[in-house]
Amino acid sequence: MKAGLSRERLVRAGAELADEAGFDQVTVSALARRFDVKVASLYSHLKNSRDLRTGIALLALEELADRAAEALAGRAGKEALTALADVYRDYAHEHPGRYAAAQLRLDPETAAASAGVRHARLARAVLRGYDLDEPDQTHAVRLLGSVFHGYVSLEMGGGFSHSAPDTRETWSRTLDALDALLRNWPDP
């Protein structure tokens, strides 16, 4: 009875498991259980358990970049800014486990070959709508990354006690503020 395992299917199922049970619950054992297969069978398709987690991280980065690229098509300026921001926030809400996986620290070579570089390019694309030269553009790319990641991660971690005002309101005002800042980037 062949179960039809493959690295592809395993990583995808791992991503689902992460979203359902949390990224830290993603284990080779749990995955084997899910396929109703013995644990050792997975080791023909995965190098080790870290390999599984890395695979999920890379998948999440790809999916995020795909969504971002689609969201940015035909948009510019503040519209592009909020579109990109919402991609990150929505993805984290829809796929908390995958989003957590995307935060996994990758070794430099893997990171360089990942969709991470597309993310940087997409952020730069948003900044084309604002008037920034190097090195300010790089500073701004990093600021965008920081705000998006920091906000989403604090929100998901319960860092903002679910009290008034609504976090969606804060999100919208944060994007207003970022837009204002980029249009009016201060001189050193």
What is the spatial distance between Cα 99 and Cα 48, in angstroms, rounded to a whole number? 21
Sign (positive or negative) of CA dihedral 92, 140, 71, 169: positive
157 binds its own copies (CB under 8 A): yes
Binding partner at 103 among its own copies, DNA, none, C-beta below 5 to 8 Å by kind: its own copies
* SS3 of residue 26 by DSSP: coil
Structure tokens at 149: 């990641």
CA distance 108 to 173: 35
Chain-centre distance for alpha carbon 151: 12
Q: Give the residue with the Cβ less far from DNA, 19 or 155.
A: 19
As a whole number of angstroms, the distance between CA 148 and CA 90 comes to: 11
Distance CA 12, CA 86 (A): 24
CB of 11 to DNA, least distance (A): 14
Q: Is 48 in the site for DNA (CB under 7 A)?
A: yes
Indicate whether 130 belongs to the interface with its own copies (CB under 8 A): no
Q: Which of the stretches 29-37, 64-72, 104-112, 172-180 binds DNA when contact is defined by CB under 7 A?
A: 29-37
Please report whether residue 147 would count as binding its own copies according to CB under 8 A: yes
Binding its own copies by CB under 8 A: which of 111, 124, 125, 129? 111
Residue 181 interacts, among DNA, its own copies, none and using kind-specific CB cut-offs from 5 to 8 Å, with its own copies
Contact (Cβ atoms closer than 8 angstroms) between residue 15 and residue 61:
no
The smaller minimum CB distance to DNA, of residues 29 and 146, is found at 29
Q: Is 157 in the site for DNA (CB under 7 A)?
A: no
Binding-residue pattern over the window 80 to 109 for its own copies, x denoting contact by CB under 8 A = -----------------------x-xx-x-
4 interacts with, out of its own copies, DNA, none, CB within 5 to 8 A per kind = DNA
- Nearest residue to 184 (alpha-carbon basis) of 134, 145, 131: 131
